[in-house]
């Protein structure tokens, strides 16, 4: 196991390096003069020149890269073109909000998805099963930002129960978390159903029943434990959907997170912030995938890594 | 498998037929938008801003007084075209990469797979956003970005199947007969990959439409006054308190299209090969 973790850690080094490299080139690939683009249309020649100097765009590309890498090593990602504050500070101010939102969404998706999927799997073709599969089908076909808008119309505008946007209290979190949870919830529910259905046909379930265990304890202690391994795979695969969805959800609910910061910065052409946000999100994604992979190994001893 | 046989299989699947019907309706709407749409999709009429649905305007008017139904019909043209072309880009690059990777193995495989790994290091939506921010905000660039994001799906799918097919006896026979590597890939391997590629593409067009709507919503895709579904949701957002119809209908349209494609894709998968799992 520890050799596997080491190997897996070594494998992400080239990937991370390429991500860092690509993000560096990202700003340099913008068509036209980068400094002019960042300065905006009304900028004077002097302002453009200042930006060029500040971003070291007047230096040879390898010098620029060296500067970028040494900054990165010190946690220095440059300064925001809009707020003039260090990019790192801006990112760290928003990061917790995105993490909370995602954790809440994962929690809802797993609890509801596994529960409905299990009931469906134990009693396939029942009314509950048909209904929940129908809901899941709509869930994966719905744009997450539209669901967000519908939740706002119903729960904020019509009923006035919850705030329509902003961040701060737990009440602000409910609607965005539910919206973000929907797609993973639907996928987890479908996967749990087919996995439970499969496990319920196994011999050891028949044995457990023959021992005289209650149906409840057969499902809880024997079926679910084995059925959840493929479900975990799906949860891992959903992390990308969740990160992408978070960007849209944050926009809908004016949630003060990383995704919204990134999109607003793209529109405002604040490239230092865009670079920092992309770097942070992509790096987190690589590590999340690593952790998910390692977790499989602990949960399923049949998985062998050679 | 012959087309007739696939059709017979598909016809038995009611959900798939519903999906096909939905997709057909939207395709026809897209093709004949000019004749079907009751009104000009970009003609403004500020006096009738955010008017609710009525006999005259079935789905009401948007914030600039434009007929929403007409915009949705023209929007079908944008979304379907974008979905098809984006997926076309993904196939055109991903399939050859996957075939080369699986057929030759070794260093070629290694290099191509590491490239794919890097693309997969970004969540799909984020990669599309990054690409659009480099290329510039426009509908065409959104299409290119989504096309690029689709490459890994095809590269992985084709590579895995090529690995199995290249060991088949008929491939060995072709080799023995002196067919070139390129000839074998084109004439022996790719025809066998047609079914999985078609199934994947149906589902992939659905994803492309969702991503494009997402980019449009963020203001990174289609720009005003294009009647793109995601952009319509974005501009209608400020009016949800008083005129929710402005955002309800575009969203329902996106959902119906995506649902139709998903149902059709699932049905095709079962029809082409019941054992095939993607």
DSSP string over B112-174: HHHHHHHHHTS-HHHHHHHHHHHH-SSHHHHHHHHHHHHHHHHHHHHHHHHHHHTTSHHHHHH
The reply to whether residue B129 touches residue A247, judged by beta carbons under 8 angstroms, is yes
> Which residue in B206, B214, B255 is closest to A138 by CB distance?
B255
Q: Answer whether residue A175 shows pLDDT above 50.
A: yes
Measured CA to CA in angstroms, residue B182 lies from A262, B108, B204 at distances of 44, 15, 27
Per-residue pLDDT band at B89 (split at 50, 70, 90): very high
Work out the average pLDDT over A259-277. Answer: 86
> Between residues A143 and B60, which one has the greater pLDDT?
A143
Give A197's pLDDT tier (boundaries 50, 70, 90).
confident
Average pLDDT for residues A231-242, to the nearest whole number? Answer: 81
* Range in A154-168, A169-183, B86-100, B162-176 the model is least confident about: A154-168
Exposure string over A193-224, b if 16+ CB within 10 A, otherwise e: bbbbbebbeeeebeebeeeebeeeebbeebbb
Q: Which residues of A touch B254 (CB under 8 A)?
A: 142-143, 146
Q: Phi, psi (5° rounding) for residue B144?
A: -60, -45
Angle at Cα A132 formed by Cα A126 and Cα A133, nearest 5°? Answer: 90
Q: How many whole angstroms separate alpha carbon A22 and alpha carbon A29?
A: 10
- A199-227: pLDDT as tens digits: 888 888 888 888 888 888 888 877 887 78
Mean pLDDT of B251-269: 91
pTM of the complete model: 0.86
pLDDT score at A198: 83
pLDDT value at position B1? 56
Q: Is B119 on the interface with A (CB under 8 A)?
A: no
Task: Supply the pLDDT for residue B18.
Answer: 92
The token pair at A203 is 């011999």
Q: In the predicted model, is pLDDT for residue A67 greater than 70?
A: yes
pLDDT at B256 over 90: yes
Looking at residue B52, what is its pLDDT? 76
Interval A34-58: pLDDT, tens: 777 777 777 788 888 887 777 777 7
Query: C-alpha angle with apex A274: A272 to A278, nearest 5 degrees?
Result: 120
State the pLDDT at residue B100: 93
Mean of pLDDT over chain B: 86
The pLDDT-based confidence of A306 (bands split at 50, 70, 90) is: very low
Does position A299 have pLDDT exceeding 60, yes or no?
yes
Which has the minimum average pLDDT: A192-196, B62-66, B158-162? B62-66
Question: Three-class SS of residue A84?
Answer: coil
Which of B117, B134, B262 is facing A29, going by the closest CB pair? Answer: B134
Domains along chain B with CATH numbers: 3-35+59-277 (1.10.3720.10)
pLDDT at A30 over 80: no
B171 interfacial to chain A (CB closer than 8 Å): no
Of A15, A137, A153, the CB nearest to B117: A15
- Give the pLDDT band (50/70/90) at residue B158: very high
Give me the mean pLDDT over the B174-199 stretch.
87
- With a cut of 80, say whether residue B254 has pLDDT above it: yes
Distance between CA atoms of residues A182 and A252, nearest Å: 15
Mean pLDDT of chain A: 83
A149 contact residues in B (CB cutoff 8 A): 233, 237, 240, 247, 251
Query: Does B124 sit within 8 Å of A274, measured CB to CB?
Result: no
pLDDT at A200: 80
Supply the pLDDT for residue B95.
Answer: 94
Minimal CA–CA distance to A183: which of B123, B15, B28?
B123
């Amino acid at each position: 196991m520890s050799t596997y973790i080491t190997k897996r850690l070594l494998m992400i080094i080239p990937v991370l390096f390429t991500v860092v490299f690509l993000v560096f080139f990202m700003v340099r690939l913008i068509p036209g003069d980068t400094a002019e683009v960042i300065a905006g249309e009304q900028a004077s020649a002097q302002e453009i020149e200042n930006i060029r100097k500040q971003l070291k765009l007047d230096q040879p590309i390898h010098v620029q890269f060296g500067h970028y890498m040494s900054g990165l090593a010190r946690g220095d990602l440059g300064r925001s073109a809009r707020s003039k504050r260090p990019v790192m500070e801006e990112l760290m101010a928003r990061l917790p909000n995105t993490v909370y939102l995602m954790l809440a969404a994962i929690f809802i998706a797993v609890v509801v998805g596994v529960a409905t999927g299990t009931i469906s799997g134990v009693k396939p073709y029942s009314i509950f099963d048909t209904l929940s599969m129908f809901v899941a089908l709509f869930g994966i076909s719905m744009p997450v930002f539209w669901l967000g808008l519908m939740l706002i119309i119903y729960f904020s505008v019509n009923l006035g129960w919850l705030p329509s946007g902003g961040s701060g209290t737990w009440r602000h979190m409910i609607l965005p978390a539910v919206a973000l949870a929907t797609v993973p919830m639907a996928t987890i529910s479908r996967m749990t159903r087919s996995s439970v259905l499969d496990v319920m046909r196994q011999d050891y379930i028949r044995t457990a029943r023959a021992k005289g265990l209650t149906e409840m304890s057969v499902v809880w202690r024997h079926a679910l434990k084995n059925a959840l391994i493929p479900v975990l795979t799906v949860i891992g695969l959903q992390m990308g959907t969740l990160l992408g969805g978070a960007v849209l959800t944050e926009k809908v609910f004016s949630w003060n997170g990383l995704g919204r910061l990134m999109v607003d910065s793209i529109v405002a052409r604040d490239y230092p912030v865009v670079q920092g946000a992309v770097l942070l999100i992509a790096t987190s994604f690589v590590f999340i995938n690593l952790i998910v992979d390692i977790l499989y190994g602990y949960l399923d001893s049949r998985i062998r890594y050679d | 498998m012959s087309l007739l046989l696939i059709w017979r299989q598909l016809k038995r699947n009611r959900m798939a037929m519903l999906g096909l019907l939905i997709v057909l309706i939207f395709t026809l709407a897209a093709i004949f938008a000019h004749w079907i749409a009751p009104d000009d999709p970009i003609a403004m009429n500020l006096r009738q801003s955010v008017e609710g649905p009525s006999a005259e305007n079935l789905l009401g008017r948007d914030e600039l007084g434009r007929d929403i139904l007409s915009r949705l019909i023209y929007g079908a043209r944008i979304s379907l075209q974008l979905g098809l072309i984006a997926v076309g880009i993904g196939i055109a690059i991903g399939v050859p990469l996957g075939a080369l990777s699986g057929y030759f193995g070794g260093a070629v495989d290694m290099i191509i797979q590491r490239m794919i790994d890097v693309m997969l290091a970004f969540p799909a939506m984020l990669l599309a956003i990054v690409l659009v921010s480099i290329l510039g905000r426009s509908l065409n660039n959104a299409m290119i970005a989504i096309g690029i994001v689709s490459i890994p799906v095809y590269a992985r799918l084709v590579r895995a199947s090529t690995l199995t097919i290249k060991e088949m006896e008929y491939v060995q026979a072709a080799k023995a007969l002196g067919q070139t590597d390129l000839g074998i890939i084109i004439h022996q391997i790719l025809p066998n990959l047609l079914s999985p590629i078609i199934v994947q593409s149906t589902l992939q067009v659905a994803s492309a439409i969702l991503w494009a709507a997402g980019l449009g919503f963020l203001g990174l895709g289609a720009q005003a006054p294009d009647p793109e579904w995601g952009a319509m949701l974005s501009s209608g957002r400020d009016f949800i308190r008083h005129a929710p119809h402005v955002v309800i209908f575009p969203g329902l349209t996106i959902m119906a299209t995506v649902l139709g494609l998903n149902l059709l894709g699932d049905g095709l998968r079962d029809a082409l090969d019941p054992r095939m799992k993607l």
